[in-house]
Amino acid sequence: MQTQECTSPSEELRRQNDLLSRRGCRLTPTQREGNVYRFTAQCTIDAPSASPVEARSTSVMTVESDSAYRVEITTTGAGTSTQESLIARRIGECTK
C-alpha cells in the first residue's frame, strides 16, 4: 500500500508514543546508535470476550538521509507475530 501525506518523523514518533502511553503501554527509553533509533512497548490489551493479552512491540527507525527514513515494527503476543514496514521519502513542500 502506498500513501502520500505531510508529516514530520519526530512529530510522528511523539504522536505514536503518546498514543501507546494513553493505552497503558510501558515504553522503554528510545535508544540511539548512529542513525538507528529503537524502542519497545509492552502492552496489555483487553479482549472483549477473553482474558487480557500481553503484547510486545519493537520499533526500529533508520534515518537514511535528511529526506528519507524507514521504520520496522515487530509485534508479538497471543502466539502470533506481525511485521510492519514504513518507508518515507521527502517529495516536496507540504501544502496546507
DSSP secondary structure of 35-68: TEEEEEEEEEE--TTS--EEEEEEEEEEEEETTE
What is the spatial distance between Cα 20 and Cα 74, in angstroms, rounded to a whole number? 15
Query: Phi and psi for 48 in degrees, rounded to 5?
Result: -55, -40
Residue 83 within any structural domain of the chain: yes
**How many structural domains comprise the chain?**
1
Question: At 96, is the pLDDT very low, low, confident or very high (cuts 50, 70, 90)?
Answer: low
Residue 7 has pLDDT above 80, yes or no: no
Residue 1 within any structural domain of the chain: no
Domain that holds residue 59: 9-89
- The per-residue pLDDT of the chain, averaged, comes to 87
Residue 35 is predicted with a pLDDT of 93
Query: Phi and psi for 47 in degrees, rounded to 5?
Result: -100, 135
Residue 74 within any structural domain of the chain: yes
Residue 2 within any structural domain of the chain: no
Cα of first residue to Cα of last residue in the chain, in angstroms, is 23
Q: What is the pLDDT of residues 8-53, one digit of tens each?
A: 777 877 888 888 888 889 999 989 999 999 999 999 877 777 788 8
